[in-house]
Chains A and B, each alone.
Chain A
Amino acid sequence: MLRRISYAAAINEAFIAIMREKKEAFHIGVGINTPWFVGNTMTGLLEEFGPDRVIDTPVSENGVTGLAIGAALAGMHPILTFPRMDFMHYAMDQLVNHGALLPATLGGRVKIPILVRAIINRGGEQGAQHSQALQGVFMHFPGFKVVMPSHPYDAKGMLLQAMEETDPVIFIDDRWLYDEQGEVPASSYRSDLDRAEIVREGTDLTVVASSYTVVLCRETLESLPGAPSVELIDLRSIKPIDSACLLRSVAKTGRLLVVDATWPKGGVAAEICRIVATEGFASLKKPIAVISLPDAPAPAAHSLEEKYYPRASDITAAIETLIG
């Protein structure tokens, strides 16, 4: 049997492998050398690779993002970390106008190979500005790949694969997943970036989730009485979305529940609904159901957080409505 390690340890293993394998790789970002910002995902990197290749920066997000983009243009392959996605708003000009748009704008004459690691860090009464999950924002811009692994095997494999890409990849990890355990080979391996994965097969309902909502859905489905035949899809890639996988599943089940822990307007759930409504409408036996965050900023109070984030009971109720 393979050894089991945590999601955070899998990220750490990937980073060590990348830095050993690829001389062009280096880390840069705010707070990357302190566990307070990045948990134990960066353990040992500074010690092994030194401050030139593991650069902790001032909180100058836009400037530092430009630095990473420039280094990428000049042949390096930076790993740029945002310990909280909330602070990426500061860097939107460099990320979007430059990282995402410049390669095509310059007729494909340049490449910007850059891995942007964005951490979702929420809950614990942190309030609205320390809670955001922005995959719905980044999927909007042409030029990015956006991935969100849900388990340790993918966390490591997708990071290693992301470093094979020549375009910017936004890798989003959620601190709620850091203690999740899973089987992870000690060797260096790659996982596809653009493919969804069927976590469990079923015939009566398709549930689509990503990142930590995959864990939430899996656990909920395991505890459901009567064992309904539900197919659970782990999106893995937010951009591109593996629409073929979604449409095949919906063609089989005729029912769709989207579970997405971001704001509901114009985001991941909305895009999945667009795909199925435009390309798989005839398969649908019931209207699509969506569980997302409310269209409201995250609250601080624990009593409010409990109602704000998707819960197992929301999923159970939605399944009941769709196939009960």
Chain B
Amino acid sequence: MEEINIMILMSLLKSMLKIRLVEEYFAEKLTSREIRCPVHLYVGQEGIAAGVCQNLRTDDYVLSTHRSHGHYIAKGGDVNALVAEVFCKENGCSHGYGGSMHIVDPKINYLASSAIVAGSIPIAAGTGLASKLKNEDRVSVAFFGDGATDEGVFWETVNVAALLELPVLFVCENNLFSTHMPIALRQAEIDIHKKVSAFGLETARIEGNDVEKVYTTARGLIERIRATRKPALLECLTFRWLAHVGPDPDLDIGYRKKVDVEKWRKKCPIQGLKNRLLERGILSEPEYGRLVGEIETLVGDADRFRRAGRDPSVTEF
């Protein structure tokens, strides 16, 4: 694999850690029931958001799903506003009207997250249509899970994006389950990227927990999209460590085995990168500890920010 600049490697590590620590903070507050809003945690999948978004400019568009915190953070979204929104506070990014599944930050062109499976995919393509009509070289990224490819609108969008030549990167985070249903029980052909390539898109299927691989593959696809304005799909194989929704590990409810979860935990994207950086002497344990401390401070600040936030109120809807 090609050499990645040290600054970028450290940025990828920091981005993943930020996502992980924020999500762990949410898990703790869900367990203590201080958070009432349903939260779909991204723990274990951080390499994808970090690796893809590292290649994006602020003016590039991102649209996401119910499991969106990682994409928002990796795109550069304000952690305070995210945390306050998950607590449904007035100082949240959606002023308490959206909650965890409806995160937004127009300033960084993170335009929407939708709680309807596949709902934001055509919308991402529509932002690409706007770029095409305005003759801009922005790239639009749609993040979604493998479950979204069960929906007809995904295939409608892939076709139309190819037909109209829209600058969209479809990022499929294939975590092998749609809530409780394994992909093999849902799709006759489970190789998503192969099916999409039949529409004429450039596609790739990679290990999503290898953040360097995600970064370099996404970089190639994004550069190509920017130059040609033709869409592409990146399928990243991954696994969510926790439940579909909430902080539990979902081990004993019949749809996945403890041994599989343990296998995937060993493929932690953060630990993987950290070990490689330690081996190469780019990072030391004390430096890693300082980085964690820095992010813990940020999470602590966000906790204070949401505590200071008021519950929203209205006189009339």
Q: Report which A residues bind B (CB closer than 8 A).
A: 26, 52-53, 55, 57-58, 60, 62-76, 93-94, 97-98, 102, 104-110
**Contact between chains at B112 and A110 (CB < 8 Å):** yes
Residues from chain B with Cβ under 8 Å of A105 in the complex: 94, 97-98, 102
Min distance, Cβ B116 to any Cβ of chain A, angstroms:
5
Closest partner residue, chain A, to B105 (CB atom): A109
Question: Bound complex: CA of A68 vs CA of B121, how far in Å?
Answer: 12
**Contact between chains at B94 and A62 (CB < 8 Å):** no
Min distance, Cβ A89 to any Cβ of chain B, angstroms:
13
- A selection of 28 A-B contacts at a CB cut-off of 8 Å is A52-B133, A60-B157, A60-B159, A62-B122, A62-B156, A63-B122, A63-B157, A63-B159, A64-B160, A65-B122, A66-B119, A66-B123, A70-B111, A70-B126, A71-B129, A76-B133, A76-B134, A93-B119, A94-B123, A94-B153, A98-B114, A98-B123, A106-B98, A107-B92, A107-B104, A109-B105, A109-B106, A110-B111
Give per-residue flags for B91-113: 1 if the beta carbon is below 8 A from chain A beta carbons, else 0: 01111111000101110000110
Min distance, Cβ A95 to any Cβ of chain B, angstroms:
11
Min distance, Cβ B203 to any Cβ of chain A, angstroms:
19
**Contact between chains at B123 and A58 (CB < 8 Å):** no
Q: Report which B residues bind A (CB closer than 8 A).
A: 61, 63, 92-98, 102, 104-106, 111-112, 114, 116, 119-134, 140, 152-153, 156-157, 159-160, 163-164
Residues from chain B with Cβ under 8 Å of A58 in the complex: 156, 159-160, 163
Closest partner residue, chain A, to B117 (CB atom): A93
**Contact between chains at B61 and A67 (CB < 8 Å):** no
Residues from chain B with Cβ under 8 Å of A63 in the complex: 122, 125, 153, 156-157, 159-160
Min distance, Cβ B98 to any Cβ of chain A, angstroms:
5
Q: Beyond A67-B125, A70-B111, A97-B119, list 4 extra A-B contacts (CB 8 Å).
A: A60-B160, A69-B126, A74-B61, A74-B127
**Contact between chains at B127 and A53 (CB < 8 Å):** no
Closest partner residue, chain B, to A72 (CB atom): B126
**Contact between chains at B116 and A62 (CB < 8 Å):** no
Q: A57-B160, A73-B127, A109-B106 are in contact. Are A98 and B119 (CB under 8 A)?
A: yes
**Contact between chains at A104 and B160 (CB < 8 Å):** no
Residues from chain B with Cβ under 8 Å of A109 in the complex: 93-95, 104-106
**Contact between chains at B94 and A67 (CB < 8 Å):** no
Residues from chain A with Cβ under 8 Å of B104 in the complex: 106-107, 109-110
Question: Bound complex: CA of A74 vs CA of B109, how far in Å?
Answer: 9
**Contact between chains at B98 and A107 (CB < 8 Å):** yes
Q: A70-B63, A109-B106 are in contact. Are A98 and B156 (CB under 8 A)?
A: no
**Contact between chains at B153 and A102 (CB < 8 Å):** no
Residues from chain B with Cβ under 8 Å of A108 in the complex: 95, 97
**Contact between chains at A71 and B127 (CB < 8 Å):** yes
Closest partner residue, chain A, to B96 (CB atom): A107
Question: Bound complex: CA of A55 vs CA of B120, how far in Å?
Answer: 21
**Nearest 7 Cβ contacts at the A-B interface:** A70-B126, A66-B122, A63-B156, A107-B95, A74-B130, A60-B156, A107-B94
Residues from chain B with Cβ under 8 Å of A60 in the complex: 156-157, 159-160
Q: In the complex, which of the residues B104, B156, B160 has the most CB atoms of chain A within 10 Å of its own CB atom?
A: B156
**Contact between chains at A70 and B123 (CB < 8 Å):** yes
Q: A70-B124, A73-B127 are in contact. Are A94 and B159 (CB under 8 A)?
A: no
Partner of A66, one of B126, B132, B134, B163: B126
Question: Bound complex: CA of A75 vs CA of B114, how far in Å?
Answer: 19
Question: Bound complex: CA of A67 vs CA of B164, how far in Å?
Answer: 11
Question: Bound complex: CA of A73 vs CA of B131, how far in Å?
Answer: 11
Partner of A74, one of B92, B98, B111, B152: B111
Question: Bound complex: CA of A27 vs CA of B122, how far in Å?
Answer: 17
Question: Bound complex: CA of A75 vs CA of B157, how far in Å?
Answer: 20
Question: Bound complex: CA of A217 vs CA of B119, how far in Å?
Answer: 42
**Contact between chains at B94 and A69 (CB < 8 Å):** no
Residues from chain A with Cβ under 8 Å of B106 in the complex: 109-110
Q: In the complex, which of the residues B104, B131, B133, B152 has the most CB atoms of chain A within 10 Å of its own CB atom?
A: B133
Closest partner residue, chain B, to A91 (CB atom): B153
Residues from chain A with Cβ under 8 Å of B156 in the complex: 58, 60, 62-64
Partner of A62, one of B131, B134, B152, B163: B152
Question: Bound complex: CA of A67 vs CA of B97, how far in Å?
Answer: 24
Min distance, Cβ B34 to any Cβ of chain A, angstroms:
21
Residues from chain A with Cβ under 8 Å of B92 in the complex: 107
Residues from chain A with Cβ under 8 Å of B61 in the complex: 74
Question: Bound complex: CA of A105 vs CA of B112, how far in Å?
Answer: 10
Min distance, Cβ B6 to any Cβ of chain A, angstroms:
35
Question: Bound complex: CA of A167 vs CA of B114, how far in Å?
Answer: 18
Question: Bound complex: CA of A68 vs CA of B122, how far in Å?
Answer: 9
**Contact between chains at B157 and A66 (CB < 8 Å):** yes
Min distance, Cβ B88 to any Cβ of chain A, angstroms:
11
Question: Bound complex: CA of A58 vs CA of B98, how far in Å?
Answer: 33
Residues from chain B with Cβ under 8 Å of A68 in the complex: 126
Q: In the complex, which of the residues A26, A53, A105 has the most CB atoms of chain B within 10 Å of its own CB atom?
A: A105
Q: In the complex, which of the residues B97, B106, B130 has the most CB atoms of chain A within 10 Å of its own CB atom?
A: B130
Question: Bound complex: CA of A265 vs CA of B299, how far in Å?
Answer: 52
**Contact between chains at A70 and B128 (CB < 8 Å):** yes
Residues from chain B with Cβ under 8 Å of A76 in the complex: 129-130, 133-134
Q: In the complex, which of the residues A63, A94, A102, A104 has the most CB atoms of chain B within 10 Å of its own CB atom?
A: A63
Residues from chain A with Cβ under 8 Å of B97 in the complex: 104-108
**Contact between chains at B111 and A73 (CB < 8 Å):** yes
Question: Bound complex: CA of A55 vs CA of B133, how far in Å?
Answer: 11
Residues from chain B with Cβ under 8 Å of A72 in the complex: 126
Question: Bound complex: CA of A241 vs CA of B127, how far in Å?
Answer: 33
**Contact between chains at B122 and A97 (CB < 8 Å):** no
Closest partner residue, chain B, to A104 (CB atom): B97
